[in-house]
Structure 1
């Protein structure tokens, strides 16, 4: 059987590159070659991060995985986190750049691309594939509920819940059900209404609706989820195939080099936190990490720092370089360790970790659930608000943090919720039960395992 070559295209953000990289590694492990396409800006970060970890030797592991790049259309001084600008420029620049990349690869004659796996937020790549006679699939790195909400935006307009400008109408109910099988959703939690400002949200939504128009070009709608986590949604849209949880290969897979496991990171992982965790009592550590986008202002940063002190428990806190504020004078921090980026999956699987103070990004949720770690939920933007509701109300595997009148999560609130968490035995036992259910999906014979097997069979044929 010939070795198929798959082109993988994530949306340009850390929370999208990670699951696509993990999925690509699964393809490599199952005998496919992968050409992984980042935008130039992210590509250089990923490669330099790997070189810092002296892992570049296995960059082209057996030359089964190749990292390449295309431009994103932004200028050198543009803010690469500006979602509105990015969503306006991607459709103008990237489809043409992707087509040229594929043609160049074919001209060289090394690897003819047989299949494209595009992030749901890059589904226009299916049109590029169609033009070049290449089949494709989409991979949704978010929840199946978000996927379903996006697909149903036109229905919500028809039903008078949204106006033609995608804002909530005056008659819109506070809570709705997209389908009788699905849990209720808070309409104010719709992701585009929580992107910082409404203009940005609408630009992002219009771009995603543009992507959704290409979904008819494939029968493969893959999603990083499982049946147990979103049963009603998957019942309503059976075309969405769960392939989650997408987790990096275990450290005990001796045949895999450490390099691939850390591939795709924009920042170098600080491994020193692992030996620090080794020194902490089992089930004692509060792990605080807020993903790659969350930005705290100085006031909120102070409250968080002083709140961690107040809990009087060991904490591991991830503070990204691009959101490092001045620590307040009163901050002791002596019970904790602060790193700029952590090997999150390893951290969450460590027996010392008791709970995960998180922004509720879907990757973080899947990694927490896969390790039986309950959550303290502090969503920042977009789909994270609904994810919080899902964790706290549906799965009952976490507690939400509430903001005060001035919009801050106070140090007192953090202390109160941490104490409440440590007093609640049920939350921990529910998380352990969920872990088993979630992990059964990727064990041999599990539904995610079988879906992936079917998909790979299709690629190879």
Structure 2
């Protein structure tokens, strides 16, 4: 890099491909505006769980697919006593990588900003030591952000544990009431190290110069207004919030590499297929797989279903499923023609954008939510972990973009519930109203990302702040 090079924006991703991909999409925004950018990628120690250790190989693959983006791999830190909890281990690794990140920032001729994944928030100290303004890239919903910004105040002014409150409603500024049982597992018990760590992170968000949020204003309008009014953080100023989404992977496959399921969809009527997929880490039990199968079969509707091997350890990757052993006897034969079952993976963006897709049974990961609303597809919400239960509340109650799969928080979602919600989405008046709502959401998403749209204007405002901060 030349000494007279323009100032560089450094993006710092957390461990795991799910954290790296959103940073890649953000990097593309900078490059489109002619702003030099590099993604700093942490390296997990050898002891790390597979889902974090995979970052290095994944980043190499992603870098090869995005040659215009610069990647810098930070060396693994010395970590002699790994924490048995994968998320806490990741937080430890990211904190211990701080000195390497600082050295990298100081090696660059000029840095205009450090943009942090929320899990990397301890690196606000690195930015301060380097004299670089720090921003947070928040890759989930504005509703989640509003809740987490207020949570330290909630904990400071109340007693007891969320885990003991059942479905009692929690009230946070700018969002729908949240059942306590729908709060992330990490904050349910304030006596745990995990809860202490996460509340500490949320308390530090206002230290950032600004927060980039992967949403668009129309989708989260009420919440964004509350954030900008400063009511989510009662005792401190709230930094500027820039809604710059929806940033999602384009997903267009190269010519000649079109997935077989897309050809199958080509032969189905418009809006006739329910797509079932629970994300890159989502799995359900063997009993639950059978219940889903019976519900799909009894519904009589077309389906495209991604099946994974049931879990025995959430920190492991799983082999491809044995469909004959996992699904009801004769299921594949009886549903041949109107159903397609895929092992492990599907080209989700292309499936959701296909005219034949009429509903999406989803775990409510934020990327999946954005992909659905951008494609105009109603959601059947089946949250599983992390902030997905919060997203479910916002999708169903705030955005009116889906319905709940009842029983998601119990041992089993029944076959009857699967059949009922598939029928609701594909053949009922309520389903038609959902499709109308999602058609509008799709239109507003496209408007937000157009040249004069709200998200493009917000990113321009952010870049203007960068110039003022140099």
Normalised to the residue count of structure 2, the TM-score between the two structures is 0.80
* Stretch deviating more after TM superposition (201-210 or 416-425): 201-210
Using the TM superposition, give the Cα deviation of residue 408 of structure 1 relative to its aligned residue in structure 2, in angstroms.
0.7
Supply the distance in 1 between the matched residues of 2:72 and 2:300 (Cα, whole angstroms). 44
1:43 aligns with 2:55: yes
1:8 aligns with 2:14: no
Paired residue secondary structure (1:226): coil
Paired residue secondary structure (2:222): helix
Given that 2:242 and 2:462 are in contact with CA atoms closer than 8 Å, whether structure 1 keeps it comes out as no
Match of 2:168 among 165, 174, 178: 174
Which structure carries more relative contact order (alpha carbon 8 Å, separation 6+)? 1
Supply the distance in 1 between the matched residues of 2:203 and 2:78 (Cα, whole angstroms). 22
Paired residue secondary structure (2:301): coil
Supply the distance in 2 between the matched residues of 1:72 and 1:448 (Cα, whole angstroms). 37
1:254 alignment partner in structure 2: none
Q: Note closer, same or farther for the CA distance 1:299–1:281 as it changes in structure 2 (3 Å cut).
A: same
Q: Note closer, same or farther for the CA distance 1:100–1:314 as it changes in structure 2 (3 Å cut).
A: same
1:218 alignment partner in structure 2: 208
Supply the distance in 1 between the matched residues of 2:190 and 2:289 (Cα, whole angstroms). 25
Using the TM superposition, give the Cα deviation of residue 301 of structure 1 relative to its aligned residue in structure 2, in angstroms.
1.8
Given that 1:37 and 1:68 are in contact with CA atoms closer than 8 Å, whether structure 2 keeps it comes out as yes
Paired residue secondary structure (2:97): helix
Structure 2: 5+ residue runs without aligned partners? 44-52, 229-239, 310-316
Paired residue secondary structure (2:331): coil
Q: Note closer, same or farther for the CA distance 1:342–1:204 as it changes in structure 2 (3 Å cut).
A: farther
Structure 1: 5+ residue runs without aligned partners? 252-256, 260-268
Q: Note closer, same or farther for the CA distance 1:148–1:320 as it changes in structure 2 (3 Å cut).
A: same
1:115 alignment partner in structure 2: 113
Q: What is the 5 A alignment of 1:23-102?
A: 23-40=26-43, 41-47=53-59, 49=61, 56=64, 58-61=65-68, 64-66=69-71, 68-71=73-76, 85-102=85-102
Supply the distance in 2 between the matched residues of 1:20 and 1:28 (Cα, whole angstroms). 12
Given that 1:15 and 1:363 are in contact with CA atoms closer than 8 Å, whether structure 2 keeps it comes out as no
Q: Note closer, same or farther for the CA distance 1:48–1:138 as it changes in structure 2 (3 Å cut).
A: closer
Residue by residue, what CA displacement relative to the aligned partner does 1:82-127 show, whole Å, maximum 9, x if unpaired? Answer: 9x724433454333424324525754x6x65432111122111221
Residue by residue, what CA displacement relative to the aligned partner does 1:361-380 show, whole Å, maximum 9, x if unpaired? Answer: 11111111111110111111
Using the TM superposition, give the Cα deviation of residue 429 of structure 1 relative to its aligned residue in structure 2, in angstroms.
0.8
Q: What is the CA RMSD across the aligned residues, in angstroms?
A: 3.3
Paired residue secondary structure (2:54): helix
Residue by residue, what CA displacement relative to the aligned partner does 1:63-98 show, whole Å, maximum 9, x if unpaired? Answer: x4325244377799x8xxx9x724433454333424
Aligned length: 425
Using the TM superposition, give the Cα deviation of residue 214 of structure 1 relative to its aligned residue in structure 2, in angstroms.
3.5
Q: Note closer, same or farther for the CA distance 1:123–1:403 as it changes in structure 2 (3 Å cut).
A: same
Given that 2:151 and 2:202 are in contact with CA atoms closer than 8 Å, whether structure 1 keeps it comes out as no
Match of 1:308 among 279, 296, 313: 296
2:281 alignment partner in structure 1: 293
